[in-house]
Chains A and B, each alone.
Chain A
């Protein structure tokens, strides 16, 4: 595990409660060097033209066939693709690593839009479990409800559900923003490490259980708080950010953000100062 140290000088993000630690370990130094980002290349990405549009009817396709055809269309430069008749199929739209304007005319099953980095997606239906898991960047908007594990382990991007979501929303998330227009189930924000979750409706039991960091904003009632989840003061900076975010997400128009509750990690469960067992041995 990378070393984590509290810092006294706060950045703007830290002032807003997004996170309060800096990563100083080898992983951070090796893989997240901004100077090297210019040289980074994703295999299997395409330069697409948003003005080049096509439809794809996946009614009689398997998920693998549909995803392969989607890849084929992107390779031809199509930047706006409308998927017809998804009919609750699993794993549609996974692994898209370039910019793309993708529209689903219907509902998705499990793992829809998983492991994506960059696309702008609108789903005119419902999504099943683990929608947009591991999202790195981009925007995914769901017009109806979503299943459990919504936005599990996302690193970035905006994930918006205009309806209600199941349990464990934002579990293990490490960045990005999840916005819920309706209610959310139990264990929302379970073990989240960074990022923000906004819930305009009610939320179930064990909210933010064992969260390391990050922030959860709730507009309605809270079933119960999880271990180490505590209330925090909603600042003016938070309210400005919430208004802007909701406006961009086209959700919660006229919602009074000043009455929202802000939940953060109490950090009583933190033990980052303890050495890993292997490192302890070395020290001895």
Chain B
């Protein structure tokens, strides 16, 4: 089933970590195999923030194989050496969990493809996000558990999207959890509710064009699909509109960039979405109770129609 939620403050920042936690926790009955956050925090915009993992969470119903922590340490060492080789300077380093790390990196090249390919050539290492504002945090368990584990409650920013997952098409592990980073584009993330039926056809075609997939989760296709469109010069909104016919199946998905938040709904309108829109806040979720968690007062909400695409700026 899965539940998705997103919000964007226009013209101001807010405690988006806390707000998204409340929205996703309200949707936990739609799935709590894993929960993921894509948070766009307030930063000075100078350095990249790289969230990456050097292993999997093997507890809480995970389908992953247990590894010794020394393996994680070894992978981290290789990441550090590769960063030095590429001229990327680690400004700040946090190891939140044995398998999950957050680096602030000074890196001056714009093209992240070569960078990402190099880091991810290390077996067991995956970049969860790379951007100057975006931080993707995802792990097994419900929204509250993940929020507490990663101390997301205090994060201040402008917008955020998140996902509460009931695993259906692929395993219970972090690599299959949403949000997906729009590799190799800085600050692009995607969450999705639904099933894509032309996943393999699209995946093969995109891989032939040099795009990378890290999981076998059909939702990852949306991030890669949009990334490829933008690589070819399309705007985010143009890519999203093309996805309505390029992707087959049922879907509602959100995509976020450094300064915008968008939603798309398939032409069958088979997956739910409730939307609240005001001058200073847009909030949306699979169910109204997600929005109610941050706006308990009486508000006007509506369901976007079939084939609808909307994009909002901060």
> Hey, which bits of chain A sit against chain B, CB under 8 A?
87-90, 105-107, 109-110, 125-126, 128-129, 144-148, 163-168, 183, 185-187, 204-205
Would you list which residues of chain B between 14 and 56 have a CB under 8 Å from chain A? Answer: none
9-residue interface stretch from B97-105, B186-194, B300-308: B300-308
B288 at the interface (CB under 8 A from A): yes
- A residues less than 8 Å from B291 (CB atoms): 88
Question: Are A148 and B272 touching (Cβ within 8 A)?
Answer: yes
Q: Considering the chains assembled together, what is the distance between the CA atoms of A89 and B307 in angstroms?
A: 27
Question: Are A128 and B302 touching (Cβ within 8 A)?
Answer: no
SS class, residues of chain B in contact with chain A: loop
Query: Quick one: given A87-B289, A205-B267, are A147 and B303 in contact (CB under 8 Å)?
Result: yes
Q: Considering the chains assembled together, what is the distance between the CA atoms of A134 and B289 in angstroms?
A: 23
B71 at the interface (CB under 8 A from A): no
Question: Are B303 and A107 touching (Cβ within 8 A)?
Answer: no
Question: Are B288 and A109 touching (Cβ within 8 A)?
Answer: yes
SS class, residues of chain A in contact with chain B: loop
10 A-B pairs with the lowest CB-CB distances in the bound complex, closest first: A167-B269, A88-B288, A166-B303, A186-B306, A145-B302, A88-B292, A88-B289, A185-B305, A87-B292, A147-B303
B126 at the interface (CB under 8 A from A): no
Q: Considering the chains assembled together, what is the distance between the CA atoms of A146 and B272 in angstroms?
A: 12
- A residues less than 8 Å from B292 (CB atoms): 87-88
* Residue from B268, B296, B298 having most chain A Cβ neighbours under 10 A: B298
* Closest B residue by C-beta to A165: B303
**Looking at the complex, which one of B274, B298, B306 makes contact with A128 (CB distance below 8 Å)?**
B274
- A residues less than 8 Å from B139 (CB atoms): none
- Smallest distance from the beta carbon of B251 to chain A beta carbons, Å? 14
Query: Quick one: given A87-B292, A147-B274, A167-B268, are A126 and B305 in contact (CB under 8 Å)?
Result: no
Q: Considering the chains assembled together, what is the distance between the CA atoms of A126 and B287 in angstroms?
A: 12
Question: Are A128 and B269 touching (Cβ within 8 A)?
Answer: no
- Smallest distance from the beta carbon of B120 to chain A beta carbons, Å? 40
Q: Considering the chains assembled together, what is the distance between the CA atoms of A53 and B8 in angstroms?
A: 42
**Looking at the complex, which one of A105, A106, A125, A148 makes contact with B269 (CB distance below 8 Å)?**
A148
Interface size class of B (residues with CB under 8 A): 20 to 34
- B residues less than 8 Å from A126 (CB atoms): 288, 300-302
- A residues less than 8 Å from B301 (CB atoms): 107, 126, 144-145
The tally of CB-CB contacts under 8 A between chains A and B is: 74
Question: Are B272 and A147 touching (Cβ within 8 A)?
Answer: yes
Question: Are B287 and A128 touching (Cβ within 8 A)?
Answer: yes
Contact with A along B275-292 (1 / 0, CB 8 A): 000000000000111011
* 15 pairs of residues in contact across A and B, judged by CB atoms under 8 Å: A88-B287, A88-B291, A90-B287, A107-B288, A107-B298, A107-B301, A125-B298, A126-B300, A148-B269, A166-B305, A167-B306, A183-B305, A185-B303, A186-B268, A205-B267
Q: Considering the chains assembled together, what is the distance between the CA atoms of A89 and B26 in angstroms?
A: 10
Question: Are A148 and B298 touching (Cβ within 8 A)?
Answer: no
Q: Considering the chains assembled together, what is the distance between the CA atoms of A144 and B288 in angstroms?
A: 14
- A residues less than 8 Å from B306 (CB atoms): 167, 185-186, 204-205
Question: Are B303 and A106 touching (Cβ within 8 A)?
Answer: no
Question: Are A145 and B303 touching (Cβ within 8 A)?
Answer: yes
- A residues less than 8 Å from B288 (CB atoms): 88, 107, 109, 126, 128
- A residues less than 8 Å from B268 (CB atoms): 167, 186-187
- B residues less than 8 Å from A88 (CB atoms): 287-289, 291-292
Question: Are B269 and A186 touching (Cβ within 8 A)?
Answer: yes
Q: Considering the chains assembled together, what is the distance between the CA atoms of A107 and B306 in angstroms?
A: 22
Q: Considering the chains assembled together, what is the distance between the CA atoms of A7 and B274 in angstroms?
A: 45
Q: Considering the chains assembled together, what is the distance between the CA atoms of A186 and B270 in angstroms?
A: 10
- A residues less than 8 Å from B272 (CB atoms): 128-129, 147-148
* Closest A residue by C-beta to B308: A185
Q: Considering the chains assembled together, what is the distance between the CA atoms of A34 and B269 in angstroms?
A: 40
- Smallest distance from the beta carbon of B294 to chain A beta carbons, Å? 12
Q: Considering the chains assembled together, what is the distance between the CA atoms of A125 and B269 in angstroms?
A: 22
* Closest A residue by C-beta to B268: A186
* Residue from B274, B298, B305 having most chain A Cβ neighbours under 10 A: B305
Q: Considering the chains assembled together, what is the distance between the CA atoms of A198 and B274 in angstroms?
A: 23
- B residues less than 8 Å from A106 (CB atoms): 298
* Residue from A106, A109, A185, A187 having most chain B Cβ neighbours under 10 A: A185
**Looking at the complex, which one of B300, B302, B305 makes contact with A167 (CB distance below 8 Å)?**
B305
- A residues less than 8 Å from B307 (CB atoms): 186
- B residues less than 8 Å from A204 (CB atoms): 269, 305-306
Question: Are A185 and B296 touching (Cβ within 8 A)?
Answer: no
- A residues less than 8 Å from B287 (CB atoms): 88, 90, 109-110, 128
Question: Are B302 and A163 touching (Cβ within 8 A)?
Answer: yes
Q: Considering the chains assembled together, what is the distance between the CA atoms of A14 and B305 in angstroms?
A: 33
- A residues less than 8 Å from B267 (CB atoms): 186, 205
- A residues less than 8 Å from B269 (CB atoms): 148, 166-168, 185-187, 204
Query: Quick one: given A166-B269, A167-B269, are A90 and B289 in contact (CB under 8 Å)?
Result: yes
- Smallest distance from the beta carbon of A29 to chain B beta carbons, Å? 38
